[in-house]
Structure formats: structure tokens, C-alpha cells
Amino acid sequence: MSIPRLAAALALCCAACASPEPSSTTVLTGPDTTEQAAVRGQQLATQACAGCHAVSAVGDSPMAEATPFRQIVHRHPLDQLEAAFAEGLVTSHPAMPAYVFRASEIDDLIAYLETVQAEP
């Protein structure tokens, strides 16, 4: 290999290995974790569900007929809940509004439900 070609190849290698300076608008994030999903799920549950359900690990539901979140997973397996959330959650209770959640919200709610489930 000639010296000019060798120099060009070396320059390309060095350019490919160099890391650019992050701009002021660059947001560096790591992979999403189950813990982060559970935090978002808790926020969603607090906003959308806490008016009727106890959404934390303790306490009574504001509406007596509304199952506390910590007990829901013992009545309905998580995979069934996930499917119900995806199809639009509808129950036989007339006071329960029909909810349609986005896929990311479903993942977050399931992650949160896993964290608050009570012992059977």
C-alpha cells in the first residue's frame, strides 16, 4: 500500500473512532428499566385510577367496590390484564369507565402492578 493510501486509511479510521462533542441539545439516556416503567405506571395509576382504586401498597379504595391495585393481580393474571388493557378495559361495573391505553402505558401499568401486589 502506498503512503498516501495508508495515510488516507489511517485518517478514516481515526475519524470513525473519534466521538463528537455532545451538543447542548443532545440528551443522553440509558436503556429503559423496569423500575422507570413502574414509576411511570404509578404516576398513570395515580392520575387515572386513584379516584376509585387504592393504587398503593396500603390503604382502602376511595370507592368501596373498586379492588385495590395490590389485590388485582390475584384476581386477574397480569397477562390477562395486559390483554384487557390493550383491547380497552371494560368491566361489568357500571361506574368503571372504559379506558384505552397506549402500549407504553400498558407496559408501565403492568410493571407497577408487579411492584404493589400483596401476598395472597
pLDDT attached to residue 18: 40
* Averaged pLDDT for residues 99-117: 89
If you ran DSSP here, which 8-state letter would residue 119 be given? P
Residues in Cβ contact with 40 at an 8 Å cutoff, skipping those fewer than 6 apart: 105, 108, 111, 112
In which region does residue 88 sit, left (phi positive, over 0), alpha (psi from -120 to 50) or beta (all else)? left
Write down the domain spans for the chain. 34-116
What 3-state DSSP class applies to 73? helix
Task: Report the first-to-last Cα separation within the chain, whole angstroms.
Answer: 73
What is the CATH code of the structural domain delimited by 34-116?
1.10.760.10
Nearest to 70 by CA among 118, 106, 119, 120: 118
Per residue in 70-105, pLDDT (tens digit) is 998 888 888 888 888 887 765 656 677 777 788 999
In the chain, the largest separation of any two C-alpha atoms, in whole Å, equals 83
* Averaged pLDDT for residues 44-73: 91
Q: Mean pLDDT across the chain, nearest whole number?
A: 74
Q: Is the dihedral of CA 49, 55, 61, 65 positive or negative?
A: positive
Per residue in 55-65, pLDDT (tens digit) is 998 999 999 98
Place of cell 407497577: 112
* Calpha distance 93→7 (Å, rounded): 75
Whether this prediction's pTM lies above 0.75 is answered by no
pLDDT attached to residue 93: 65
